[in-house]
Amino acid sequence: ILIGKRRKPEELADKWEFPGGEIESDESPEECLRREVSEELGIEIQVKNKICEISHEHDFGNIKFHVFFAEWKNGELTPTTHKEAKWVPRNELRNHDFTPADVKIIKKIENT
């Protein structure tokens, strides 16, 4: 499973998160994920099945996360917006300090 570590001075710096980003007006959640992973991590993915949708309340408002399984297609993992990015087995996710929203996602992944 691909995870990225947030950079300083971002909010929640040094916390781990799953790749993703804001959906643009002309794209689907799947298209957004492909674009964000390409821009931020330098790899191309094939989006597979949707795991869930999760809402999380932040100081600045409520955010909805669309969570998918995806497979690496090509490219070399080159993080541009994260301090670090890496692949980890599902059973090692809890060994990392994730953002509160991503902890909710881990619970869903563990039950899938």
- pLDDT, mean of residues 89-106: 96
pLDDT at res. 61: 83
The b-or-e profile of 79-103 (16+ CB within 10 A means b, else e) is: beebeebeeeeeeebeeeebbebbe
pLDDT at res. 43: 98
Residue-wise pLDDT tens digits, 6-24: 999 988 999 999 999 999 9
pTM: 0.91
Domains and CATH numbers, the chain: 2-110 (3.90.79.10)
pLDDT at res. 60: 78
pLDDT at res. 111: 86
Whether pLDDT at 65 is above 90? yes
* Rounded Cα distance, 33 and 22, in Å: 9
